[in-house]
Amino acid sequence: MTIQVFGLPVARGIAIGKAVLVASSRLDVDHYFIDADQVEAEIGRLREARDLVARELESLKQAMPGDAPPELGALLDVHLMLLHDESLTSATKQWIRDRHYNAEWALSAQLEVLARQFDEMDDDYLRERKADIEQVVERLLRALARGGSSALAAATRKPIQQDWGGEEPLVLIANDIAPADMLQFKQSVFKGFVTDVGGKTSHTAIVARSMDIPAVVGAREASRLIRQDDWVIIDGDAGVVIVDPSPIVLEEYRFRQRQSELERERLARLRHTPSVTLDGEAVELLANIELPQDAPAALRAGAAGVGLFRSEFLFMNRDGELPGEDEQFEAYRAAVQAMDGLPVTIRTVDIGADKPLDRMSLSELRHEHTLNPALGLRAIRWSLSEPAMFRMQLRAILRASAYGKVRLLIPMLAHASEIRQTFEALARAKQQLRDAGTPFADVEVGAMIEVPAAALTIPLFVRHFDFVSLGTNDLIQYTLAIDRADESVSYLYDPWHPAVLRLIHDTIRAARQAGKGVSVCGEMAGDPSFTPLLLAMGLRSFSMHPSQIAAVKQRILRSDTAKLAQMLDAALACDDPQECYRPFMGEAAQLH
């Protein structure tokens, strides 16, 4: 039976494929594909884990005191029976053989199948046995972790790449996917993904857009309603997920999919076209990247440089171990050299909120249970609390500046004291390099304007910094007091809110009047519906994911900034977001 699940569209396009459910949030497991020649070894890992758990359960039975309740022994017998049940062991091996899942993923996939079967049982007693199978699987997962799995994973683990041997397209369904885990899915076999939770500008959604595949988040019950191997359509334009579609619906969406691909090909032809408005205003289009290997995509898209290198992704998927100075330097240098002389803006680590370190570390260990991570120890606050780590990153960035044009960007500044401490740390890092005889170049230093306090005191920032960059995602979140990762309040997240528009406008105007560079690197920069507004405000530098550059460039090529500027006063004078948008509605329709 066809069902529809509604969520928030975060990455445009149509994806069609069979559902792959990853473990729910109650189980923390790795998900990766293994090579064909590693299948038997992976099944061997599973067998060893099962034997280990069996020995543990037998030992528990033997160690039971004589006065122990008989129900306890019966429970252990049930767990032993489930451990050897074919519906668990044989089916798990099948996931490994057919899909080349690692053992942990195969176990969690089969648990999802069995859990659904228990949920559908009419008998209350049998239905409650789901907890037993969950406990057995959790024991197996712990045994896999103890049984030297990490060494095998290190030898066989690879990104979920397009070399997967299956013929059917796959789509990923999960309760949530952490930004760090999203990196595992770059260049993946998955044609799209759906999560139960998340907002349009959560970092998971941002990384999803960087993958340039259709995605829907905040779909609430998706991971419960969708079963393994269901055929699924993800409509990334409308935020709709269609499960088990009829042949007519499937064909309609396949047609739309082909049309979308043709539109992308048409836009790609603009790559070498100069980004200049109808009235001759040159506009700089830069790329946002997460890792050095993203730089070639920026060049292919025709980016004039990297406006935001999110360095925090170098710190993720490391089991809490921070990258050393040399490792960071190599990554930054690789990105700089890949851009072939074009500028690269590297933002210092923006850890915290919805981008925590794996298992947390250093000061984060003391704050992992903070009531509101978005208002806690994150970004520059975290860096200043770990001065040795901060200087290490600054040295690595400075060293990379010897190989090309590098600009340094500091996130989430709000106080004059933070500005002072940042420049003191930078001065000390430079002196340490001089003392060591390590070459580096002069770098421009910029500030992220993403806290209302920074936007309201913008004269302070343009006095100290060479340029500013508007992080509109956080600026909107903090201005409107909305957690941007919380789908329950996502309807209140409105970039057209008058307060947001006035803060953005005042920042752009102050920077231009001071002769300082100003750009927008948040999601507004990559959304063509905001391009006329930002042009009207005087913005001439946009930074976005490479896949968004062509669409924004098309909008710029059709824009007349002089005419747009005449509409700005009406937009800034409004009280309601709908009224703010209205002056540009005619322009938007005309440009379509």
To the question of whether residue 483 is assigned a binding role by annotation, the answer is: no
**Beta strands across the sheet bearing 215-217:** 3-6, 240-243, 231-235, 14-21, 170-174, 190-195, 215-217, 8-11
Q: Is 368 helix (H, G, I), strand (E, B) or coil?
A: coil
Question: Domains in the chain: how many in total?
Answer: 3
pLDDT (0 to 100) of residue 181: 61
* 95 and 204 belong to one structural domain: no
Active site residues per annotation: 203, 521
- Give the contacts of 203 (CB within 8 A, at least 6 positions apart): 179, 354, 355, 485
* 192 and 287 belong to one structural domain: no
How large is the average pLDDT for residues 448-471? 97
Q: Summarize pLDDT for 486-517 with one digit per residue, the tens.
A: 767 877 889 999 999 999 999 999 999 999 99
* 363 and 432 belong to one structural domain: yes
pLDDT (0 to 100) of residue 28: 61
How large is the average pLDDT for residues 59-75? 71
* 291 and 380 belong to one structural domain: yes
Helix (H) or strand (E) holding 41: helix 39-62
* 377 and 451 belong to one structural domain: yes
% of the chain surpassing 70 pLDDT: 84
How large is the average pLDDT for residues 426-432? 98
The alpha carbon of 59 is separated from its chain's Cα centroid by a whole number of angstroms, namely 44
pLDDT (0 to 100) of residue 23: 58
- Structure tokens that stand for 301 in this block: 């898209």
How large is the average pLDDT for residues 530-538? 96
Band of the pLDDT at 85, cuts 50, 70, 90?
confident
User: Of 345 and 358, which is predicted with more confidence?
Assistant: 345
Residue where a domain stops, chosen among 158, 179, 200: 158
Band of the pLDDT at 185, cuts 50, 70, 90?
low
> What value does the mean pLDDT of the chain take?
85
pLDDT (0 to 100) of residue 590: 47
DSSP 485-506: T-GGGGGG--TT-HHHHHHHHH
* 492 and 480 belong to one structural domain: yes
- Provide the residue range defining the domain that includes 572: 269-591
- Structure tokens that stand for 59 in this block: 């030992």
DSSP H helices in 212-246: 222-225
How large is the average pLDDT for residues 242-264? 93
To the question of whether residue 102 is assigned a binding role by annotation, the answer is: no
Q: Which CATH number belongs to the domain containing residue 87 in this structure? A: 1.10.274.10
Pairs from 550-554 (Cβ < 8 Å, separation ≥ 24)? 550/264, 550/267, 550/268, 550/270, 550/271, 550/301, 550/302, 551/267, 552/285, 552/525, 552/526, 552/528, 553/270, 553/273, 553/275, 553/285, 553/302, 554/267, 554/270, 554/528
pLDDT (0 to 100) of residue 363: 41
Going 381 to 383 to 388 to 390, the CA torsion angle's sign is negative
The alpha carbon of 548 is separated from its chain's Cα centroid by a whole number of angstroms, namely 16
Band of the pLDDT at 226, cuts 50, 70, 90?
very high
* 323 and 467 belong to one structural domain: yes
pLDDT (0 to 100) of residue 547: 87
* Separation of alpha carbons 382 and 228, rounded Å: 40
Band of the pLDDT at 365, cuts 50, 70, 90?
very low
- Structure tokens that stand for 193 in this block: 């993904």
To the question of whether residue 484 is assigned a binding role by annotation, the answer is: yes
Residue where a domain stops, chosen among 268, 284, 308: 268
Find the range with the poorest average confidence among 11-15, 55-59, 60-64, 445-449: 60-64
* 165 and 264 belong to one structural domain: yes
pLDDT (0 to 100) of residue 109: 86
To the question of whether residue 473 is assigned a binding role by annotation, the answer is: yes
* 199 and 319 belong to one structural domain: no
- Structure tokens that stand for 3 in this block: 């069902």
Q: Which CATH number belongs to the domain containing residue 414 in this structure? A: 3.20.20.60
Q: Highest-confidence range of 69-78, 288-297, 502-511, by mean pLDDT?
A: 502-511
Residue 362 has pLDDT above 60, yes or no: no
* 104 and 18 belong to one structural domain: no
To the question of whether residue 310 is assigned a binding role by annotation, the answer is: yes
* 279 and 328 belong to one structural domain: yes
pLDDT (0 to 100) of residue 534: 97
pTM: 0.74
Q: Summarize pLDDT for 569-588 with one digit per residue, the tens.
A: 988 988 888 888 877 765 54
DSSP 523-577: GGGG-GGGHHHHHHTT--EEEE-HHHHHHHHHHHHT--HHHHHHHHHHHHT-SSH
How large is the average pLDDT for residues 385-393? 96
* 24 and 65 belong to one structural domain: no
DSSP 444-459: EEEEEE-SHHHHHTHH
Residue 161 has pLDDT above 70, yes or no: no
Length of the chain (residues): 592
Q: Which CATH number belongs to the domain containing residue 245 in this structure? A: 3.50.30.10
C-alpha distances in angstroms, 438 versus 108, 329, 430?
49, 12, 9
The residues with which 8 forms a beta bridge, in sequence order, are 217
Band of the pLDDT at 356, cuts 50, 70, 90?
low
Q: Summarize pLDDT for 296-331 with one digit per residue, the tens.
A: 999 999 999 999 999 988 887 666 678 999 999 999
How large is the average pLDDT for residues 267-275? 92
Residue where a domain stops, chosen among 249, 268, 287: 268
pLDDT (0 to 100) of residue 552: 95
- Structure tokens that stand for 102 in this block: 């690692």
- Structure tokens that stand for 7 in this block: 């969520």
